[in-house]
Amino acid sequence: MTPTDRALKTGRKLNRNAARAGDTAWSGGEMLTAAGDVIAARMKIMAEGMTDPAKVDLKELSLMTSEKVEALSESAAVLGQTFGDIGQRLNANAVTEAGLASRAASAIAGASTPAAAMQAHYSYALGWWSRAAGQMLTLNTELLKGQAEALKPIHRTAEANAKRLKP
């Protein structure tokens, strides 16, 4: 892959990350608005139940806990999977980098001249920088995706409740 192709690929990835972050922020705003509507509607239900206990909506009041537990459990499972996948990838990257560093150290130690040693060191350092930048971009992408996926069940629940409880 040429440097230009690599730069274009990186640019596309950065653009997708920015779009994902924007979409997640928008979903978060929608979720907060829906949550406010749900809280207001449920406060009204509870107030009405206090004034006339015979008319209290026990089904709706019981949903206040069960649906949160369900949405948060689904969200936690997504985060657990995301972090597990990230951990495995970071571990593999560390093992690979240790091997590359070992080979670079051997090349530096076995260089026949100081200039050759400097060239071996430079080559390793330049490669490391490129690998590290790519790995950080990948990590950022995975974290943004995990955040978006973890928000979905909470967003979905809040939006459904707001729609259901709308006067």
What confidence tens digit (pLDDT) does each residue in 106-165 have?
999 999 999 999 999 999 999 999 999 999 999 999 999 999 999 999 999 999 999 999
Q: Which two tokens stand for residue 130?
A: 């490129």
What is the span of the domain harbouring residue 152? 23-165
Number of folded domains in the chain? 1
Q: CA 144 from chain center: how many Å? A: 4
44 within 8 A of 164, measured Cβ to Cβ: no
Confidence at residue 98, expressed as pLDDT on a 0 to 100 scale: 97
Per the domain annotation, does 16 fall within a domain? no
Per the domain annotation, does 152 fall within a domain? yes
Q: CA 115 from chain center: how many Å? A: 44
Query: How is 93-154 classified by DSSP, letter by letter?
Result: HHHHHHHHHHHHHHHHHT-SSHHHHHHHHHHHHHHHHHHHHHHHHHHHHHHHHHHHHHHHHH
What confidence tens digit (pLDDT) does each residue in 19-69 have?
999 999 999 999 999 999 999 999 998 998 899 888 888 888 888 889 999
Per the domain annotation, does 7 fall within a domain? no
Per the domain annotation, does 10 fall within a domain? no
Per the domain annotation, does 123 fall within a domain? yes
The H-or-E segment that residue 12 falls in is: helix 3-51
Question: What does the angle CA 114 – CA 125 – CA 89 come to, to the nearest 5 degrees?
Answer: 145
